[in-house]
């Protein structure tokens, strides 16, 4: 133990809090501080997603106008998911659906699935071998339907300014289940503005629709907030398993990079939304594209888990300074 301090939280640690008031009333929050510059807020009542990310006191993520919204307010009809879309640094989309509302083989699926609006069943944290580790379990199971579980570990380094999201999806049912997941990571001001440098070294870039295609030459160029802006989405395909994306803010001399196995998370999405207050850049790795599960089935991109089978995914985030 350090003889200069009384309690470890003087230097680093994890504290649990609850919100009071508004639609977020009662939500549990874990405040994580690695003592080196990384501070994050993990929301156990929202799938242990990361609602805030700061580096050396600077905000790195985007918090939507919805703010914190408790699971009780979730509406699974159509696109009403947006009414409780806190965004934050990480919103996990899935597990039964990602992207556009659709009907797939008779099942009515809402926008981006229900996972991000589900409280975890279990959560705890430990310090282990130079890491603060938050471990959780989210149960996405229902009678007559899917029976899927998400085992999550968010490991924050005490030595370097980086963290790792380790997820294991488990099929606990007796039938083959389609499984979709998208790590909806959202960059916000002041990390994000018109001077931000975005790097995605993919082998190819495809526009999601005609509106995005009209400006595909500028996919990497950020803009000032613009009234009436219509989102543009681009799909980036990597040549091998080395998936990577970064954003750097020269005025702050800092940024972050995201790395992942692109052979497993083979659907990388850039969500460019340069609206007034709706000002956010999504750098999103997933095992599908957000076009609806029916479309993923038709294109052969839909993934499945056999009864009792598990699938692991890993995403690493590292802070940058130059």
Element (H, E) at 297: helix 293-299
Per-residue model confidence (pLDDT) at position 78: 87
Q: Going by CATH, does the domain composed of 8-321 fall within 2.120.10.30? A: no
| Largest Cα span, the chain | 64
- Distance, CA of 110 to CA of 97 (rounded, Å): 7
Token output for 264: 């497993």
Whether residue 198 contacts residue 246, with contact meaning beta carbons closer than 8 Å, is answered with: yes
pLDDT digits (tens, 9 = 90+) for 242-267: 999 999 999 999 999 999 999 999 99
- Distance, CA of 138 to CA of 123 (rounded, Å): 9
Q: Give the list of residues 6+ apart from residue 24 with CB closer than 8 angstroms, or none.
A: 67, 68, 69, 70
Per-residue model confidence (pLDDT) at position 1: 74
- Distance, CA of 282 to CA of 184 (rounded, Å): 6
Helix extents (H) in 164-261: 210-213
Q: HSE (CB half, 13 Å, CA atoms) of 109? A: 30
Token output for 265: 């998370």
- Distance, CA of 271 to CA of 301 (rounded, Å): 20
- Beta bridge mates, 63: 87
Token output for 150: 């998400």
- Distance, CA of 51 to CA of 53 (rounded, Å): 7
pLDDT digits (tens, 9 = 90+) for 75-122: 999 899 999 999 999 999 999 999 999 999 999 999 999 999 999 999
Question: What is the rounded end-to-end Cα distance, in angstroms, of the chain?
Answer: 33
Report the Cα 189 to chain-centroid distance in Å. Answer: 17
Per-residue model confidence (pLDDT) at position 2: 85
Closest CA to 116 of 147, 95, 89: 95
Residue with tokens 């609206």: 275
Closest CA to 270 of 239, 233, 307, 301: 233
What are the average pLDDT values for consecutive 10-residue runs of the chain, which has 322 residues?
90 97 97 98 98 98 96 92 96 97 96 97 97 98 96 98 98 98 98 98 98 98 98 97 98 98 98 98 98 97 98 98 88
């Amino acid at each position: 133990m350090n003889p200069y301090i009384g309690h470890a939280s003087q230097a680093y640690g994890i504290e649990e809090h609850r919100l009071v008031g508004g639609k977020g009333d009662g939500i549990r929050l874990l405040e994580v501080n690695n003592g080196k510059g990384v501070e994050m807020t993990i929301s156990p009542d929202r799938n242990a997603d990361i609602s805030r990310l700061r580096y050396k006191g600077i905000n790195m993520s985007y918090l939507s106008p919805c703010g914190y919204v408790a699971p009780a307010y979730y509406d699974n009809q159509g696109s009403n998911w947006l009414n409780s879309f806190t965004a934050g640094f990480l919103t996990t989309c899935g597990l039964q659906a990602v992207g556009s509302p659709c009907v797939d083989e008779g099942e009515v699926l809402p926008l981006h699935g229900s996972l991000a609006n589900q409280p975890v069943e279990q959560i705890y944290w430990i310090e282990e071998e130079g890491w603060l580790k938050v471990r959780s379990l989210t149960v996405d199971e229902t009678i007559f339907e899917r029976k899927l579980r998400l085992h999550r570990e968010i490991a924050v380094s005490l030595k370097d300014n980086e963290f790792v999201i380790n997820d294991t999806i488990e099929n606990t049912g007796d039938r083959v289940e389609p499984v979709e997941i998208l790590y909806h990571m959202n960059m916000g001001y002041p990390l994000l503005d018109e001077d931000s440098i975005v790097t995605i070294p993919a082998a190819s870039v495809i526009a999601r629709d005609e509106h995005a295609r009209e400006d595909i030459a500028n996919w990497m160029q950020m803009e000032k907030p613009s009234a009436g802006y219509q989102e543009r989405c681009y799909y980036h395909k990597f040549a091998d398993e080395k998936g990577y994306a970064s954003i750097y803010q020269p005025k702050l001399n800092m940024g972050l990079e995201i790395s992942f196995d692109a052979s497993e998370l083979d659907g990388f999405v850039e969500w460019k939304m340069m609206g007034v207050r709706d000002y956010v850049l999504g750098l999103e790795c997933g095992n599908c594209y957000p076009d609806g599960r029916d479309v993923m089935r038709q294109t052969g991109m839909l993934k499945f888990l056999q009864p009792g089978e598990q699938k692991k995914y890993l995403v690493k985030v590292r802070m940058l300074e130059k």
